[in-house]
C-alpha cells in the first residue's frame, strides 16, 4: 500500500524548504512479533522503519495496533515527490497521511 504526494512550488526560484511527511500506520497483527515495514521518501531521500507491536498489545485478542511514522528532509528543488509505503504480511492501513512544507521567504501555494 502506498500513498503519494507531489508539491510544486509556485516560484520559479529554487528556494530551500523543509518537508515533513507523517502518517498513522495501523496494522492487524496476525502473529505475535510480526510487524510491517514502512518506507518514507522525500525527493529521493528515504527512511525505513519496522513496526512490531508488543505481543500483549491488547490481551482481548484484538491485535489492532497503530503507530505514527514521521520523516523530514531539507530540499531546494521546485518539485518534491513524497511517498509513504507499507509492506508486510499483516493487513495494514495508512491513516491521515500529511505533508508539511516550511519555507523561510516568499509565497507558495499547493497545486
* Residue 90: closest CA among 37, 30, 49, 38: 30
- pTM of the shown model: 0.82
Domain count, the chain: 1
pLDDT of residue 84: 97
Instruction: Say if 17 falls within a structural domain.
Output: yes
CB 83 within 8 A of CB 41: yes
Query: Which range marks the domain in which residue 85 is found?
Result: 2-102
E strands present in 17-105: 17-28, 36-42, 45-51, 64-75, 79-87, 92-102
CATH code, 76? 2.60.120
pLDDT values of the chain reduced to their tens digit, one per residue, 111 residues:
999 999 988 877 778 899 999 999 998 877 766 788 999 999 999 999 998 776 555 555 566 788 899 999 999 998 999 999 999 878 889 999 999 999 866 555 555
Instruction: Say if 108 falls within a structural domain.
Output: no
Instruction: Say if 111 falls within a structural domain.
Output: no
pLDDT of residue 38: 95
Instruction: Say if 110 falls within a structural domain.
Output: no
Instruction: Say if 109 falls within a structural domain.
Output: no
Instruction: Say if 81 falls within a structural domain.
Output: yes
pLDDT of residue 74: 95
pLDDT of residue 90: 80
CB 51 within 8 A of CB 36: yes
Instruction: Say if 107 falls within a structural domain.
Output: no
pLDDT of residue 91: 84
Amino acid at each position: 500500500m502506498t500513498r503519494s504526494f507531489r508539491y510544486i512550488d509556485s516560484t520559479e526560484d529554487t528556494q530551500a524548504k523543509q518537508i515533513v511527511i507523517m502518517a498513522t500506520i495501523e496494522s492487524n497483527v496476525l502473529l505475535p512479533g510480526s510487524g510491517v515495514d514502512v518506507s518514507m521518501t522525500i525527493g529521493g531521500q528515504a527512511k525505513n522503519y519496522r513496526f512490531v507491536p508488543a505481543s500483549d498489545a491488547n490481551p482481548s485478542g484484538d491485535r489492532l495496533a497503530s503507530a505514527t511514522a514521521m520523516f523530514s528532509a531539507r530540499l531546494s528543488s521546485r518539485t518534491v515527490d513524497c511517498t509513504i509505503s507499507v509492506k508486510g504480511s499483516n493487513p495494514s492501513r495508512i491513516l491521515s497521511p500529511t505533508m508539511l512544507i516550511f519555507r523561510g521567504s516568499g509565497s507558495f501555494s499547493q497545486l
